[in-house]
Each structure stands twice: as structure tokens, then as C-alpha cells.
A and B are shown apart, each in its own frame.
Chain A
Amino acid sequence: MNEAITEIKDPILSINNLSISYGTNGNFAVKDVSVDIKKNAITAIMGPSGCGKSTLLRGINRMHELYSNTETLGNIYLNNDDITKINPIKLRRKIGMVFQRPNPFPTMNIYDNVIAGYKLNGIKIKKTKKDEIVEQSLKDVALWDEVKDSLFQRGTFLSGGQQQRLCIARALAYKPEVILLDEPTSALDPIATSRIEDLLVQLKENYTIILVTHNMSQAARISDYSIFMYLGELIEYGKTKNMFTNPVDKRTEEYLTGKFG
């Protein structure tokens, strides 16, 4: 739908003229953003603090609506379905999210954390199917070997990087189509960061990944497409390698060479 901007055919997500504001003073955190997201690719959203990238991300699975007084204009289509017409609970089954601080549920053990999506929503599945899902999800995030003997302990003994991978496993267990990640490695050390980056590159084969990052090297390392936002607007969008060697907009150029941000 935004082929003029993105040249992507059959995008999995199409964002059209999206504007989001919080609060009563009418300041829009996201201003008239239109972009398409390619399926089974990693798209990075980057920009200086306060540019609206987190808001944009949360607009995709309607998490921004949890705050009162939000106003949303424009629309987003997931596989040609208007997301405002889908029940938010169903929507969040198709679009999973991982946050900046690893947040496994503290009162549940590792096993229950992985299938928390099913458990908390009261979805009944046979024990064998549950075991299968837990094992597969933990294997997908390369955590199975490390925790398979302590599945029924609480996850608090895991390191930060392992906890974050557990959260990714929890999102994967729900079998979404799209995974949103909001600065997933900014609270982790470099080695844990690197493992998660490798994981995301592997996952993109089966999932569409959208990643907000304030670290442009991370965007350069793993993303296929990049979106640059500034003061709520979408300034530039393109293939990462092109944007990093030859950005079109002067503001993108300045951001990449460290003139601001």
C-alpha cells in the first residue's frame, strides 16, 4: 500500500498515516507515519530519544491504548485486516512483544512462564502438547539445554540474557506472525546482546521482526530494512545497507554521523 515509499510487494504490515497522541495537550508522539513492513525480515526503527519510535512500535499491537487519553488517527493493516477491527486480545496473539527489561512472571516457574500465554488466557491444551510447545520454544531460543533440568524452578536464577531469551520463548510459544522488540538488549551485557542478535537473525526465517533500537550499530548489524524517525515523523526508510552508506535525507545523515542524538 505504501509501495511508493517502500517498494515492498505484499507487505505483512501496512501502516497508513498513523498519528498517535497522548494526553490532552494535543502533542502527537507519532505524526502521519506511512510505511510497509516486509515479511520474514528484520526492520529496525531508530532515532534519537523522544522521536516516537517506541510509541510507533506499541501502536502496532495497540499497547499504546493502555494509557488513557490516547488518540489514534490513520490505520494499520495486518495482512490486509484493519487492526482496529480485530479484538485486541486476538491481535496480540498474532503480534508478540518483548520489552527492554526482561520480565518473566516472578511467581511462575520456567515451564509455566513459557506457556503463560495459554495459561493466563485459560486456553486448555493437552499436557503432551504443552510439553512440546515448551521444549520447542526453549530450543528456538537456545535455552533448552541450559534449563531443561530446572524447568520447574522459578526463573530468578537465570542471568539477564537468559531471562530475556525466556521472554522471547514466551512470545514464540504463542506462535505469533510478528514479533515486536523494544530495545531488547539495552539492559544486557555485550555477550548476551550478541547472542540475542544472532537469535533474531535466525528467527526471521519464520517470523517478521520489528526492532526498536537506540544503538545504530545494532541496526546496521542485523536489520534488513531501517526506519529513521525524528520528532515523531518518519524521515527515511530503506534497505539498511543503502541507508548507512548513502542516506537520502540530510537529517538521517546527521544522525548517522553523530551530529545529534
Chain B
Amino acid sequence: MAKDITYRSTQMRLNKDKFALFLIIFFTIITTLPLLLIIGKLIVKGIGQINLDFFTKITPNTLEAMVALASGERIPGGILNGITGSLYMLLIASAIAIPTGILTGVFLSENPDKKYSNIIRDIADVLQGVPSIVLGIIAYIWVVKNITRGFSALAGSVSLSIMMLPLIIRSTEETLKMIPASIREAGFALGVPYHKIIFKILLPSGMSGLLTGILLSISRILGETAPLMMTALGSSVINFNIAKPTSAVPLLIWEFYNDPNMISLIWGSSLFLMLIVLSLNIIAKRIARKWKIQ
């Protein structure tokens, strides 16, 4: 009798286990399914558009596209102007945000309890939450209206850099906090001055964390469209003049979408953008895992 009961209750527990497992797998599939479907659709529809021209030619204008559509040919051109524009603005934004972000992160980790530190941390958190289009407006007022008097790559870069800052500051601070205090003490005991301890010991030790933060912030801004619409505006040519408008991949996707002749081009560019962002994320995670400090 007793054996029967225990057998039954054990069976019940095993069944509950299996059911729970089933639920977990089910919901995991539901969550990941959209991502897989998106990637799947992008690949199916966009892979055909990615060829050498894609990377080497600038966008066609709407007339060329119409002609190609009418004659059943492939739409000519590529997104070189978008790629160069994105890269260019990325470089400038990084040049602004990375040093500032890292130094701020260093300051916060070295002075964790001062009043200023808490204020700066709060500001960084607020910035993180500001809608990107609002940052675009701010950059519009600061740069487009007052500095370059017109849409420009600089304005785009400024708005992007503001978006990068909170991530870099946070990851720098957290990384440096994780470095044991004894490493710093060892540096001091050898008579190393404070600034050298930061730049020659602490930052190199935290390099993995810093890189992760930088890569993640880059992957974030690569896909931003709204702020660029009112700052960089877009351009049909390759532009390296900081004071003039420039294109970017997400901007191009928006333009393609709005032009009935070029709408089919959205797939290739979206696929490209998605792959870049995914790769950056994966690389960032790989670095974080490999270089973890014991």
C-alpha cells in the first residue's frame, strides 16, 4: 500500500516536471520565433540584392529605379553613400563619446561617494531614457542652427554621441569597480603616480569591459534613424565634409521605403544592417567572456 502511494506521488512530480519543461520550451520558442522569422524573411528577400555593387555604388535616383522596374531589370546602384556616411558619423561620434565616456566612468569609479558623482550618474541615466528623436531636436538646435547653419554630418554625430555616452560611462564605471582594490594598492606601493595607475594599470585591466561597452554602444547607434533625420538629413552622394549633410544606412532604408520605385531595396539594406548589429553584439559577448578577470 505504502509503496503504491509513494509511486503515485513520485509519478505526479515527474509529470509536473515534464509539463513545466514543456511550458518553458514553448514560451522560449514563442519569444525567439519573431526574431527568427524576421531574419528569415530578410534573408529570403534581401540576399539577392547584396552583391558587389551593393557595396561599391551609390544609391540610384528615383528615375533610374523607375526605368529599371519598367524594363524588369535589377535596380542599379548600391548603398555606398549610406555605408560611408554611417561610418563617417560613427567615427566622429566615437571620437566625441569614447574619451568623454571613459574619463567620466573613471571619475565615477574613483570617487563613488562624492555628491557630484551621484548627480553625474543621474544625468547619465536620464540621458539614456531620452527619446532619440528629442536628442535629434537638441542637436538640430545646437549644431544645425548655430554651428553649421544647415544639416550636417557633425549634427548627426553629436546626436549619436549623446546616445553612446550613458552606455560607455556605465560600463566603464562597472568594469573599473570590479578591479580589486589590491591592484591599485600594488601600483601605489611601487610609487606609481595616480594618473599612471589609471592609464597603465586600471584601464588595461578593464579593457574587456570597456570594449564591450563601446561595441554595444556602437551597435546601438548604427540603427538609429530618427535623430539623423533632422540632423544629417541624408544625401545621395558620398560626403566627407563635416559641415554638409550626409547619408546613413538607416536613413536610406527610410528613403527607400518612401519611394514607391525603390521600395524593394529595403530588404537588402535591412539585412545588411541587421547582420552588422548582430555581429557586433556577438563579438562583444565573446570578448566579455574571454577576458573575464578572475
Residue ranges of A at the interface with B (Cβ–Cβ < 8 Å): 61, 63, 66, 88-93, 96-97, 99-101, 103-107, 116-117, 120-122, 156, 167, 170-171, 174
Residues in A whose Cβ lies below 8 Å from that of B95? none
| Chain A CB within 8 A of B196 CB | yes
Contact call B192/A121, Cβ cutoff below 8 A: yes
| Chain A CB within 8 A of B187 CB | yes
Residues in A whose Cβ lies below 8 Å from that of B200? 120
Contact call B185/A121, Cβ cutoff below 8 A: no
Residues in A whose Cβ lies below 8 Å from that of B294? 106, 156
* C-alpha spacing A104/B185, complex, angstroms: 11
- Please name the residue on chain B nearest to A95 by beta carbon: B189
Contact call A106/B183, Cβ cutoff below 8 A: yes
Contact call B183/A92, Cβ cutoff below 8 A: no
What are 8 A-B pairs with beta-carbon distances under 8 A? A91-B191, A96-B190, A101-B180, A105-B201, A106-B183, A107-B204, A120-B190, A121-B192
Q: What is the minimal beta-carbon distance from B193 to any residue of chain A, in angstroms?
A: 6
Contact call B190/A107, Cβ cutoff below 8 A: no
Tell me how many residue pairs across A and B have CB atoms closer than 8 Å.
70
Q: Which of B182, B187, B293 contacts A120 (CB 8 A)?
A: B187
Residues in B whose Cβ lies below 8 Å from that of A106? 183, 205, 293-294
Most chain A C-beta atoms within 10 Å of own C-beta, residue among B182, B188, B293: B188
* C-alpha spacing A101/B182, complex, angstroms: 7
Contact call A170/B205, Cβ cutoff below 8 A: no
Interface residues of B in 162-217 (CB under 8 A from A): 180, 182-183, 185-193, 196-197, 200-201, 204-205, 207
Contact call B205/A105, Cβ cutoff below 8 A: yes
Residues in B whose Cβ lies below 8 Å from that of A120? 187, 190, 192, 196-197, 200-201
Q: Which of A66, A93, A105, A122 contacts B186 (CB 8 A)?
A: A105
- Please name the residue on chain A nearest to B194 by beta carbon: A66
- Please name the residue on chain B nearest to A117 by beta carbon: B190
Q: What is the minimal beta-carbon distance from B113 to any residue of chain A, in angstroms?
A: 10
- Please name the residue on chain B nearest to A65 by beta carbon: B188
Residues in A whose Cβ lies below 8 Å from that of B197? 120
Contact call A92/B191, Cβ cutoff below 8 A: yes
Residues in B whose Cβ lies below 8 Å from that of A105? 183, 186-187, 201, 205
Q: What is the minimal beta-carbon distance from B273 to any residue of chain A, in angstroms?
A: 34
Residues in A whose Cβ lies below 8 Å from that of B205? 105-107
Q: What is the minimal beta-carbon distance from A85 to any residue of chain B, in angstroms?
A: 16
Q: What is the minimal beta-carbon distance from A201 to any residue of chain B, in angstroms?
A: 22
Contact call B191/A103, Cβ cutoff below 8 A: no
A sample of 8 more A-B contacts (CB under 8 A), given A105-B205, A121-B192, A170-B190, is: A61-B189, A92-B190, A101-B182, A103-B182, A103-B183, A116-B190, A120-B192, A120-B201
Residue ranges of B at the interface with A (Cβ–Cβ < 8 Å): 180, 182-183, 185-193, 196-197, 200-201, 204-205, 207, 293-294
Contact call B191/A121, Cβ cutoff below 8 A: yes
Contact call A174/B190, Cβ cutoff below 8 A: yes
Most chain B C-beta atoms within 10 Å of own C-beta, residue among A66, A89, A103, A156: A103
Contact call A117/B191, Cβ cutoff below 8 A: yes
* C-alpha spacing A107/B192, complex, angstroms: 16
Q: What is the minimal beta-carbon distance from A123 to any residue of chain B, in angstroms?
A: 10
Q: What is the minimal beta-carbon distance from A183 to any residue of chain B, in angstroms?
A: 12
* C-alpha spacing A116/B188, complex, angstroms: 12
Q: Which of B189, B193, B204 contacts A63 (CB 8 A)?
A: B189
Contact call B185/A63, Cβ cutoff below 8 A: yes
- Please name the residue on chain A nearest to B182 by beta carbon: A103
Residues in A whose Cβ lies below 8 Å from that of B183? 103, 105-106
Q: Known interface pairs A91-B191, A93-B191, A117-B190. Does A103 touch B204 (Cβ–Cβ under 8 Å)?
A: no
* C-alpha spacing A96/B186, complex, angstroms: 10
Q: Known interface pairs A105-B201, A105-B205, A106-B205. Does A167 touch B186 (Cβ–Cβ under 8 Å)?
A: yes
Q: Which of B186, B189, B190, B204 contacts A121 (CB 8 A)?
A: B190
Q: What is the minimal beta-carbon distance from B192 to any residue of chain A, in angstroms?
A: 5
* C-alpha spacing A167/B200, complex, angstroms: 18
* C-alpha spacing A91/B189, complex, angstroms: 10
Residues in B whose Cβ lies below 8 Å from that of A107? 201, 204-205, 207
* C-alpha spacing A106/B207, complex, angstroms: 11
Contact call B191/A88, Cβ cutoff below 8 A: yes
- Please name the residue on chain B nearest to A66 by beta carbon: B188
* C-alpha spacing A2/B293, complex, angstroms: 47
Residues in B whose Cβ lies below 8 Å from that of A121? 190-192, 196
Contact call B190/A103, Cβ cutoff below 8 A: no
- Please name the residue on chain B nearest to A62 by beta carbon: B188
* C-alpha spacing A9/B293, complex, angstroms: 48
* C-alpha spacing A220/B205, complex, angstroms: 39
Contact call B201/A103, Cβ cutoff below 8 A: no
Residues in A whose Cβ lies below 8 Å from that of B188? 63, 66, 92
